[in-house]
């Protein structure tokens, strides 16, 4: 497998960046998505409206268009110098922002439906034994919601892993971008190069599914 | 709003408190939106001259032509994807491992590989045979087809077992049971999921941007990269408006259809963890 040896540096660099984009966007979209979900279930009408508006806008926007908005549109809004000061590649950071803004809309819907699957009686029981709103949320509702959230959350993160490839079209040298780089150097037939990269993505998808399966089993409750 | 899980139905004092929060929250959101607007305006991204391209009929006609290409890409690939999905769903349901295992491999492979990677691969390796249009259509076909195969399988498996048994009892072969008994009953239950998949296909057509597909996004690129306009924010907002209008309408149709079917007590199938437009 000498072609794999030759392709290896490209694959390694590419997937290193893919995984960096993936992990950063996972964290950022989870935080943003949970805040949005809290807004969507809030008793305060303007927050609900904002949450619903956000979800409907970004869920229906193609990721490529969002990349145009963020990656092409934001640099003139002098975010660029402040990013370069902390030592981050501008395009990579903007890609993380675009991916997170997009994925947060899906995370929001997952978390919201997770909270709604918890039986209303659970929270009522918690309140009637005198728990505060925070206690109800922390001790009763969220642990139960978390369990039902795992499978759909895994789907969202699998989609995110594949979506990091869109950054290739905007000057980020992650895994998908390595296809043309390796092809220019004619390291191996393009089909072989494609299969190497596809294998990398399949492994990432497997890892996410496996983690979800383990978590689901750990948190499973005998009913 | 659905029944609130997290808090009781508010009494008069809570309602008064919520009214105060609403005013404060509303002002905070307006302030946030105002700040974003001001930053964009200040950076001269949405000032009036950035929108002038919308007044040039040549550009608007070009974008309309691009939208036609986008819709044609999406429609062609979703139709092919339905055929692809039907074939591989049937393959995956086969009792014969020589058919079943390859079908599973194909479905799982295409579900895990990014569409853009497939578009680039097809475009690099079969440039002359396929051209950009068919590179995109084929990539979208195999991806959406693999997702739809799972939808179809779920739909078939959701038909009550007695139907299969009744079919076998009157002497139909396995293929006949699938074709004459299971598939017709499963089709309607899959309709909302198929429409949701159209949203995904439509969004993914924009990936053709990477290989110069002359769809609406690709043509829009020529506007904002033009030094004279240099307006990516304005152009992206126009594209967002176009896609949101189409996709939101599609998802409303899917939701309406699903609600109507549920009211009538019909089955509706979804994949586990599936969400409208997730991609």
Q: Is the pLDDT of residue A221 over 80?
A: no
pLDDT of residue A78: 63
CA–CA gap between residue B142 and residue B112 (Å, rounded): 11
Query: Among A31-35, A92-96, B87-91, B203-207, whose mean pLDDT is lowest?
Result: A92-96
CA–CA gap between residue B195 and residue B191 (Å, rounded): 6
pLDDT of residue B252: 93
Calculate how close chain A gets to B198, using CA atoms only, in Å.
11
Q: Is the pLDDT of residue A215 over 70?
A: yes
Interface of B with A in 203-232 (CB under 8 A): 203-207, 209-210, 217, 220-221, 224, 232
Q: What is the pLDDT of residues B176-205, one digit of tens each?
A: 999 999 999 998 889 999 999 999 999 999
Predicted confidence band at A1 (pLDDT cuts at 50, 70, 90)?
low
User: A139 versus A199: which is more confidently predicted?
Assistant: A199
Residue B39 at interface with chain A, using a CB cutoff of 8 Å: yes
Residue A140 at interface with chain B, using a CB cutoff of 8 Å: no
- CA B206 and chain centroid, separation: 12
Q: What is the pLDDT of residues B15-53, one digit of tens each?
A: 898 899 999 999 999 999 999 899 888 888 888 888 888
DSSP B126: S
Residue B136 at interface with chain A, using a CB cutoff of 8 Å: no
B8 neighbourhood in chain A, CB within 8 Å: 124, 127
pLDDT of residue B1: 45
Given phi > 0 = left and psi -120 to 50 = alpha, else beta, which region is A99? alpha
Query: Among A111-115, A152-156, B120-124, B150-154, whose mean pLDDT is lowest?
Result: A111-115
Ordered alpha helix ranges (H), A78-189: 80-85, 90-117, 120-128, 133-135, 142-163, 177-184
Interface of A with B in 11-30 (CB under 8 A): none
CA–CA gap between residue A43 and residue B169 (Å, rounded): 56
Calculate how close chain B gets to A89, using CA atoms only, in Å.
20
What domains can be seen in chain A, in order of their start residue?
2-219 (1.10.3720.10)
A198 neighbourhood in chain B, CB within 8 Å: 109, 112-113, 117
Q: What is the pLDDT of residues A74-119, one digit of tens each?
A: 876 666 555 555 556 788 889 999 999 999 999 999 999 998 888 8
Nearest to B116 among A159, A166, A198 (CB): A166
Contact A61 B44 (CB under 8 A): no
What number of C-beta contacts closer than 8 Å exist between A and B? 191
Nearest chain B residue (CA) to A201: B113
φ, ψ for residue A218 (rounded to 5)? Answer: -60, -40
Nearest chain B residue (CA) to A121: B5
A111 neighbourhood in chain B, CB within 8 Å: none
Q: What is the ipTM of this complex?
A: 0.91
A156 neighbourhood in chain B, CB within 8 Å: 275, 278
User: Which H helix or E strand runs over B149?
Assistant: helix B127-158
Percent above pLDDT 70 for chain B: 97
Measured in residues, chain A has a length of: 223
Calculate how close chain A gets to B117, using CA atoms only, in Å.
6
Mutate to test the interface with A, among B31, B39, B120 (most CBs of A within 10 A): B120
pTM of the model: 0.91
Residue A45 at interface with chain B, using a CB cutoff of 8 Å: yes
φ, ψ for residue B4 (rounded to 5)? Answer: -70, 125
Calculate how close chain A gets to B181, using CA atoms only, in Å.
31
Nearest chain B residue (CA) to A136: B6
Nearest to A77 among B45, B202, B273 (CB): B45
Provide mean pLDDT across the span A45-68. 95
CA–CA gap between residue A98 and residue A12 (Å, rounded): 24
What are the CA-CA distances from residue A16 to residues A27, A98, A175, A186 (Å)?
17, 19, 8, 22
pLDDT of residue B208: 92
């Amino acid at each position: 497998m000498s072609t794999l040896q030759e392709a290896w540096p490209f694959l390694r660099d590419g997937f290193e960046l893919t995984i960096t984009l993936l992990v950063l966007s996972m964290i950022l979209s989870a935080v943003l998505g949970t805040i949005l979900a809290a807004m969507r279930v809030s008793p305060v009408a303007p927050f609900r409206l904002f949450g619903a508006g956000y979800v409907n806008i970004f869920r229906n926007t193609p990721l490529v268009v969002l990349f145009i908005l963020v990656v092409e549109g934001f640099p003139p809004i002098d975010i660029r110098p402040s990013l370069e000061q902390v030592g981050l590649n501008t395009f990579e950071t903007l890609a993380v922002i675009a991916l997170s803004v997009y994925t947060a809309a899906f995370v929001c819907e997952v978390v919201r439906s997770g909270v709604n699957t918890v039986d209303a009686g659970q929270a009522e029981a918690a309140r009637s034994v005198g728990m505060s709103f925070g206690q109800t949320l922390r001790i009763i509702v969220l642990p139960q919601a978390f369990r039902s959230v795992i499978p759909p959350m895994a789907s969202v993160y699998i989609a995110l892993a594949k979506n990091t490839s869109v950054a290739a079209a905007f000057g980020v040298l992650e895994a998908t971008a390595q296809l043309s780089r390796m092809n220019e150097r004619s390291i191996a037939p393009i089909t072989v190069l494609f299969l190497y990269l596809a294998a990398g993505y399949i492994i990432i998808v497997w890892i996410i599914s496996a983690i979800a399966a383990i978590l689901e089993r750990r948190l499973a409750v005998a009913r | 709003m659905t029944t609130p899980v997290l808090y009781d139905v508010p009494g008069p004092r809570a309602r008064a408190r919520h009214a105060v929060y609403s005013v404060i929250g509303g002002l905070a959101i307006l302030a946030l939106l105002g700040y974003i607007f001001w930053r964009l305006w200040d950076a001269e991204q949405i000032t009036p001259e950035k929108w002038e391209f919308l007044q040039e009929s040549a550009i608007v006609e070009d974008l309309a032509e691009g939208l036609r290409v986008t819709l044609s890409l999406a429609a062609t690939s979703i139709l092919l994807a339905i055929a692809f999905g039907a074939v591989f769903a049937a393959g995956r349901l086969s009792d014969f491992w020589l058919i079943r295992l390859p079908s599973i491999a194909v479905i799982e492979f295409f579900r895990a590989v990014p569409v853009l990677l497939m578009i680039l691969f097809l475009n690099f390796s079969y440039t002359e045979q396929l051209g950009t249009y068919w590179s995109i259509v084929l990539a979208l076909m195999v991806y959406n087809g693999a997702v739809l195969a799972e939808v179809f399988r779920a739909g078939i498996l959701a038909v009550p077992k007695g139907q299969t048994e009744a079919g076998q009892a009157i002497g139909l072969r396995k293929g006949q049971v699938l074709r004459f008994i299971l598939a017709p009953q499963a089709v309607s239950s899959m309709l909302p999921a198929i429409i949701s998949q159209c949203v995904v296909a439509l969004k993914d057509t924009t990936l053709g941007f990477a290989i110069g597909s002359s769809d609406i996004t690709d043509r829009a690129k020529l506007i904002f990269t033009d030094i004279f306009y240099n307006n990516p924010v304005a152009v992206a907002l126009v594209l967002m408006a176009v896609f949101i209008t189409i996709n939101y309408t599609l998802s409303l149709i899917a939701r309406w259809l699903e609600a109507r079917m549920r009211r009538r007590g019909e089955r509706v199938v979804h994949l586990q963890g599936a969400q409208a437009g997730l991609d």
